[in-house]
Amino acid sequence: MSSALPELTEAAPRRGRPRVAFVVTSLHGGGAEAVGIAWMTWFIDAGHDVSAIMVSDKPVSELVPSSVTVHRLGTLRGHGAKVSALRRLFRAEAYDAAVALQTYPNLLAIAARGRSQSGPTLVVTEHNLISLGLAGSSPSHRAKVWLAKRWYRRADAVTSASHPVGAEMAAAFGVPPSRSLVVPNPALAKVTDRTPVARVPGTEAGVQLVLACRLVPQKSPHLALHTARALAARGIRTEVVSFGGGPLQDELVALADRLGVPFTPHGWVEDWFEHFAENSVVILPSHREGLGNVLVEAAARGVPSVAVSTALGVADAIIPGVTGELALDDDPESIADAVERAAWLDVSGVDDWLERFSADSSGSLLQQTIDYAHLIRAAR
């Protein structure tokens, strides 16, 4: 695993305008979807011919550049039908490279490319800690992970959104270190205005806990409400606002009522980072994260964040004591301690660190990965 690409002796061959296909679940909502759109936009700006191959029937975001050719496989029934259709696309379109995002598209792309030397160079990308999510997961999810542990090593290169994810790719998925690379998400692609929010440091003005995530079990959103109650018990006026929506929203509204915690769910808001109050602290109480894009987005606006250290991937997205704080564990009192510390932080002077998550930096690293993967494949 490395975030610096090893040097090979020969340059990757070029032939005209490079053609790149992104194999994605969808192009609307969610962190990985935003990553895909940001990468496509960067590759178009860099002069590539870009296609998106969607394996679900979800809608396409208006943020997708109009020059992206979108192929929809979501209406096909069965995994085999999608693999066959994807294989036909690979052959007909003669892509130079295919980049897949997330486990299911990764597996489809690996199956479609097979062991042929005539298909596109294949880069699969992982954005989450998979093994930590196995407990209580469905049989279909377990089957995907079982396959991924056997198939990921077939890709020409595997990228991870953070170093913890990269470690999992090497330790649990058997991806050779020479083909396991860390390419940080372009988490700042949507943050066009990095003007620091005018904040009141400390907790005398109370705390607005900003829950910027999907309201799903992986994110443990109920911990935000229990943390708010713990802060209120310390005499700190606290409210929770949610940007994300999800299946647990009604359950959280009921829990907030029982706990006596002010809670405002706003549903999915694309530019959630434009709605900070002067006493905002972002909270991401997930029990696992591949990275945590929202932690970087918050830092870009000068707003501190709190996450749980055992979520692992968040360690790449927070500088403790500078852009936010890591709670020792997922006990609401531990998280409340971290919120109190974070509320005093002056999040500034981190522009060089933030640049690591820019679309230009991330896109450039992905391009280098593709070039390197070309060489790896040619050397086999």
Summarize pLDDT for 202-254 with one digit per residue, the tens: 999 999 999 999 999 999 999 999 999 999 999 999 999 999 999 999 999 99
Same fold, 19-186+358-379 and 207-355: yes
Pick the CATH number of 19-186+358-379 from 3.30.1300.10, 3.40.190.10, 3.90.1150.10, 3.40.50.2000: 3.40.50.2000
Which pLDDT score is estimated for 213? 94
Give 298-319 pLDDT, tens digit per residue: 999 999 999 999 999 999 999 9
For residues 322 and 197, give the distance between their C-alpha atoms in angstroms, rounded to a whole number: 16
Percentage of residues of the chain with pLDDT beyond 70: 95
Tokens of 225: 């409400």
Which pLDDT score is estimated for 60? 83
pLDDT above 90: residue 106? yes
Task: Please say whether the beta carbons of 296 and 315 come within 8 A.
Answer: no
Confidence band of 11 (pLDDT split at 50, 70, 90): very low
For residues 339 and 336, give the distance between their C-alpha atoms in angstroms, rounded to a whole number: 5
Task: Please say whether the beta carbons of 110 and 270 come within 8 A.
Answer: no
Which pLDDT score is estimated for 29? 67
Burial (Cβ within 10 Å: 0-12, 13-18, ≥19) of residue 91: middle
For residues 122 and 192, give the distance between their C-alpha atoms in angstroms, rounded to a whole number: 31
CA distances (Å), origin 305, targets 153, 261, 294: 35, 20, 9
For residues 127 and 284, give the distance between their C-alpha atoms in angstroms, rounded to a whole number: 16
**In the CATH scheme, what architecture does the domain 207-355 have?**
3-Layer(aba) Sandwich (3.40)
Which pLDDT score is estimated for 1? 45
Task: Please say whether the beta carbons of 200 and 185 come within 8 A.
Answer: no
Tokens of 136: 């209580």
Name the strand (E) or helix (H) holding 240.
strand 238-243
For 26-44, b/e burial (b = at least 16 CB within 10 A) is bbbbbbbbbbbbbbbbbbb
| Average pLDDT in the chain | 92
> Per-domain residue ranges for the chain?
19-186+358-379, 207-355
pTM of the complete model? 0.90
